[in-house]
Amino acid sequence: MQGASWAEGLRFAFGTLSVLRVRVERWDRAAGGRAMTAAPLVGLVLGALAAGAGALVAWRAGGALGAVTAVGVLAALTRGLHLDGLADVADGLGSGKPAEDALRIMKQSDIGPFGVLTLLLVLLAQVAALAGQFAESLPRGALAVLASAVAARCALAWGCLRSVPPARPGGLGAMVAGTVPPAGAALGTAAAALALAALGTFDGSSALRLPASVVLGVGCAWLLLGRCVRRFGGITGDVLGAMAETAATGTLFALALLG
């Protein structure tokens, strides 16, 4: 298979991971690998849009509404893709059924009780954490939104490492599973952490606060990945979505705890 260019990978990434209108020229594993490696750039763009909207509302109406706005904008910019994956994975893991049955549950269009509860808790946690950050200052809240969005997309690269198999033959998970070299995932996360460290000087806190939180958030997603691989035999598109939301929430938790 002919290698894909980074431009083709970026178009794949934005066309798949956002509602932004992008012409996707290649839909294959080579382009998918480039897309997942470059996914943190998607997080940077979407996070900046959500951070700007959240900061504007927080300036006029308070941190709580600013937090709700930022979370809502991020969900809208991704068509709720990651949240849907989180709910499906929660139902699959919570079912206690064998892998084949759990995967079938995850493909169903409805949401079960485990999915509803998980969505509720995760969204509440994200809003509460962001409200606290906006209450400290508008720059701190905006950077928290940006960090969580970038961490979510960093997690996608780690979910697509060459050592991680697909759980089933079809779907987006099979398209991108096993396409990212470890060095690519590590470099993408390191670059995102360095960029956030530089931006962190604008909120008056330690330069290590944002990158440390991203690493902790991605670490939470890595733990979920291990659980899903053992439970389902590999990844699916839903697992990747669940990893993204786990990384975002873990990052916000870490930011809150680090003060």
- Residue 27: the pLDDT is 80
- The model's pLDDT over 101-152, given as tens digits with 9 standing for 90+, comes to 899 999 988 899 999 999 999 999 999 999 999 999 999 999 999 999 999 9
- The model's pLDDT over 180-229, given as tens digits with 9 standing for 90+, comes to 999 999 999 999 999 998 887 776 666 788 999 999 999 999 999 999 99
Q: Is 220 exposed, middle or buried (0-12, 13-18, 19+ CB in 10 A)?
A: buried
Provide the pLDDT confidence category of residue 25 given band limits of 50, 70 and 90. confident
- Residue 199: the pLDDT is 86
- Residue 1: the pLDDT is 47
- Residue 2: the pLDDT is 60
- Residue 24: the pLDDT is 80
The whole-angstrom separation of Cα 60 and Cα 193 is 30
**Residue in 217, 205, 176 with CA at minimum distance from that of residue 43:** 217
| 253 CB-side CA count, 13 A | 17
The whole-angstrom separation of Cα 144 and Cα 55 is 11
Task: Compute the CA torsion angle 219, 118, 71, 252 (nearest 10 deg).
Answer: -30
Q: What is the model's pTM?
A: 0.94
Cα→Cα distances 38→13, 17, 234, 236, Å: 7, 11, 22, 19
Joined together, the tokens standing for residue 29 give 């594993």
- Residue 204: the pLDDT is 64
Provide the pLDDT confidence category of residue 21 given band limits of 50, 70 and 90. confident
Provide the pLDDT confidence category of residue 9 given band limits of 50, 70 and 90. confident
Partners of 235 in the β-ladder: 166
Provide the pLDDT confidence category of residue 173 given band limits of 50, 70 and 90. confident
Q: Is the pLDDT of residue 73 over 80?
A: yes
> Average pLDDT of 57-72?
97
Q: Name which of 11-25, 76-90, 120-134, 215-229 the model is least confident about.
A: 11-25
What is the rounded average pLDDT for all residues in the chain?
92
Joined together, the tokens standing for residue 212 give 């440390």
